[in-house]
């Protein structure tokens, strides 16, 4: 039986690399994003994850066409930059709406079907930023931290079912995400923030541009979804990024803040 897989975020970056990779390896793949996709072997399924009703309709289409859903690989997400004090609230809310509530909507729409698969897999893409607060990226960090704890809860709730869930937390990936996200103009900010904001934002853009290849992250997700037993989360990134997720939890708070602060000062 051909396994049926839904990849979100299929119009760009990791999802765009992952969907055709899975199609080439024999899965029946549906690629979801707001824009339609034209990828080899991938069935385009345009939907907005923030719109719960249209999401359910899209998932119903998969079930009507195939009768099953075996894996959901949730790569859709957005970033954004600005200080807590001054970032327009609707921009911050949109990040939470997409990254957290969009994931929530996706879980509600797909879990009833994934549980019927003999080997259901739900892989939610978070971020290393979900393990720590990064200056001027608060809404993004908060959205990914919320996704992480939601995944922790979900895993325990799914005990005894055929469905395993996990979160994949990558470090920087060289995709269009920086170019397409909202970044508050530095000149709109109070002078107290301007220089540090410019430095942090330029640094973030440079790190993403020199980040991992999306194809590499797609391969890692493929390996993870095929493990027999999934860990609560997987950090994918260079050594220092992986170590930071451990250090942020184990170092005393002020020590960790000084370490991270030096990186961003």
Residues known to be catalytic: 140
- Residue 176 as a binder of ligand NAP (CB under 6 A): the answer is yes
- Residue 223 as a binder of ligand NAP (CB under 6 A): the answer is no
CA 224 vs CA 107, 231, 265: distances in Å: 19, 9, 36
Among 5, 6, 13, 183, binds ligand NAP (CB under 6 A): 13
CA dist 63 and 4 (Å) reads: 9
- Which three-class secondary structure state does DSSP give residue 223? helix
Q: Pattern 153-172, binding to ligand NAP, x per CB under 6 A?
A: -----------------x-x
- Residue 92 as a binder of ligand NAP (CB under 6 A): the answer is no
| Residue closest to ligand NAP (Cβ) | 13
- Residue 221 as a binder of ligand NAP (CB under 6 A): the answer is no
Nearer to ligand NAP, 48 or 219 (CB): 48
CA 97 vs CA 11, 88, 127, 143: distances in Å: 19, 14, 16, 8
Binding residues for ligand NAP, total number by CB under 6 A: 32
CA dist 158 and 82 (Å) reads: 37
Strand order in the sheet with 28-32: 42-44, 28-32, 4-8, 71-74, 120-125, 163-170, 233-236
- Residue 35 as a binder of ligand NAP (CB under 6 A): the answer is yes
Among 15, 20, 80, 83, binds ligand NAP (CB under 6 A): 15
Q: Find the distance separating the first CA and the last CA of the chain, reported in whole Å.
A: 54
Kindly report the CA angle at 138 between 221 and 265, in degrees rounded to 5?
Answer: 100
Among 41, 44, 50, 215, binds ligand NAP (CB under 6 A): 50
Among 150, 173, 218, 235, binds ligand NAP (CB under 6 A): 173
- Residue 110 as a binder of ligand NAP (CB under 6 A): the answer is no
- Residue 208 as a binder of ligand NAP (CB under 6 A): the answer is yes
- Residue 34 as a binder of ligand NAP (CB under 6 A): the answer is yes
- Residue 201 as a binder of ligand NAP (CB under 6 A): the answer is no
Closest distance of CB 65 from ligand NAP, Å: 20
Among 11, 58, 241, 245, binds ligand NAP (CB under 6 A): 11
Residues in a beta bridge with 42: 29
Contact 37, 30 (CB under 8 A): no
Query: Which spans of this chain sit near ligand NAP (rule: CB under 6 A)?
Result: 8-15, 33-35, 48-50, 75-78, 98, 102, 125, 127, 170, 172-173, 175-177, 180, 208, 211, 214
């Amino acid at each position: 039986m051909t396994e049926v897989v839904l990849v979100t975020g299929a119009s760009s970056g990791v999802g765009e690399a992952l969907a055709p990779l899975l199609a080439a390896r024999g899965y029946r793949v549906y690629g979801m994003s707001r824009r339609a996709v034209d990828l080899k072997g991938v069935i385009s399924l345009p939907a907005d994850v923030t719109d719960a009703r249209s999401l359910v309709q899209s998932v119903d289409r998969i079930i009507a066409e195939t009768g099953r859903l075996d894996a959901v690989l949730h790569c859709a997400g957005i970033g954004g930059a600005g200080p807590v004090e001054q970032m327009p609230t609707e921009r911050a809310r949109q990040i939470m709406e997409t990254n957290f509530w969009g994931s929530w909507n996706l879980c509600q729409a797909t879990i009833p079907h994934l549980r019927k698969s003999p080997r259901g897999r739900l892989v939610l893409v978070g971020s290393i930023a979900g393990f720590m607060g990064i200056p001027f990226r608060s809404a993004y960090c908060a959205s990914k931290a919320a996704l992480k704890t939601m995944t922790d809860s979900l895993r325990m709730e799914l005990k005894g079912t055929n469905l395993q869930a996990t979160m994949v937390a990558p470090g920087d990936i060289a995709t269009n995400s920086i170019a397409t996200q909202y970044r508050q103009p530095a000149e709109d900010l109070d002078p107290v923030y301007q220089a540090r904001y410019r430095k942090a934002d330029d640094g973030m853009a440079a790190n993403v541009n020199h980040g991992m290849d999306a194809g590499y992250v797609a391969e890692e997700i493929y390996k993870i979804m095929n493990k027999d037993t999934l860990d609560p989360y997987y950090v994918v990134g260079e050594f220092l990024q992986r170590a930071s997720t451990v250090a942020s939890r184990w170092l005393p708070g002020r020590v960790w803040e000084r370490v991270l602060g030096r990186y961003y000062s």
